[in-house]
Amino acid sequence: MPIREINFDGIIGPSHNYAGLSLGNLASTRNAGGVSQPRAAALQGLDKMRANLALGLVQGVFVPQPRPARAWLAELGTTIKAAEPGLAANAMSASAMWAANAATVSPAPDTADGKCHLTVANLRTMPHRSHEWVATLAQLKVAFADPAFAVHGPVPAAFGDEGAANHMRLVGGHGAPGIELFVYGRTGGPFPARQHVEASKAIARRHGLDPSRTLFIEQSEEAIAAGAFHNDVVAVANERVLFAHGKAFTDRDGTFAAIERMMPGVEIVEVSDSDVPLADAIKSYLFNAQLVTPPDGAMTLVAPTECRDTPSVKAWIDRHLASNGAIRRVAFVDVRQSMANGGGPACLRLRVACDPALVDPRFLVDEAKLDRLAMTIGKHWPQEIAAGDLQQSTLIADVIEARSALLEALDLESLS
């Protein structure tokens, strides 16, 4: 089969809660201490996957990680019951659902050895995410065990790496050689930069990328300070289209000029701050949508319903569609439970361009498999979790049982 882009969505885990752990993520902070709805969240995620299937896209999944993170707590000399509440929240986080932070992916046409390379992200900046890479790496090694893939461990933790959320690829077609764009940051106001340029350069070297087709771009401090903790909150690329806010990059003109030199014919769809203020772009997650090309060729923006509900964003979308621009269609999806914790449609997925026949089929889904997963989630996922519930024995037991049931439904018990 030819190379196709597969979206691997993280199934939202049974411990999904609002502990407000992500510094610089305004939605996470704003909803800290609220009551979450894990069952509704996971079903919303499945519905987004159904919407992708309806567009004719190939859809994959990653499973939730073991929670509580007992091995991490043990390294800290404690247990989920004995830990102070803040530490317990870090061990119960379901943030691995945001698969855009799982790894950075370079498809085979871009690499020196002709393999599809994946480097698991170390996520070292945020304690609740810093322990994810071990379980993520285990999944990647199973899903991409074929010799056509090269799966790498994390970049050393001296340098922060948060995966594909800070990486974009521009290409004429997914099976052709493309140019890879690595976006790094510096501290923005009170918020830390999560992606270090040293990590991005290390990944490019590991993956055997051609330096003449690789660009390192600095994210603007203004965007980080406004709450764009990852590049994918202010920019996204698909095929020959770069869709970005006017304040996404420190050197806007230099960045666009370099991209145009590397890829003649690139189409840059820029949204000005006067049309959509940066605050509205971040609140609505306009750029944290999935920009995809279905088989019918009509480039589609899979956007959160918050975009429809934000007047400046909806007005821009309507004008762009009426102008017959690069984005031909917008499909709105309800992922409000994830959005309330700071992750939109693009956060929930890792894009891997490869031959789907080379992927372990247990990680690929169709409608029938999604139906089975929905039944499992409806039966086992907690309906609600309050901030004070995270160390309750009954909840912990329910979370463990729910994940086990899901692994059984996918025949992935080896990941337990």
- Which of the residues are catalytic? 162, 230, 347
Among 53, 75, 3, 32, smallest CA distance to 386 is for: 32
Residue type, position 130, single letter: S
With H, G, I as helix, E, B as strand and everything else as coil, classify residue 335: coil
- Burial of residue 225 (CB within 10 Å: 0-12, 13-18, 19+) is middle
Structure tokens at 95: 């943030």
Rounded Cα–Cα distance for residues 132 and 123 (Å)? 8
Buried b (16+ CB within 10 A) or exposed e, 286-298: bbbbbbbbbeeee
What torsion, rounded to 10 degrees, do the Cα atoms 51, 56, 62, 64 define?
Answer: 10
Q: CA 272 → CA 9, 201, 280, 300, 379, distances in Å?
A: 30, 30, 12, 20, 46
Query: What number of other Cβ atoms are within 10 A of residue 247's Cβ?
Result: 20
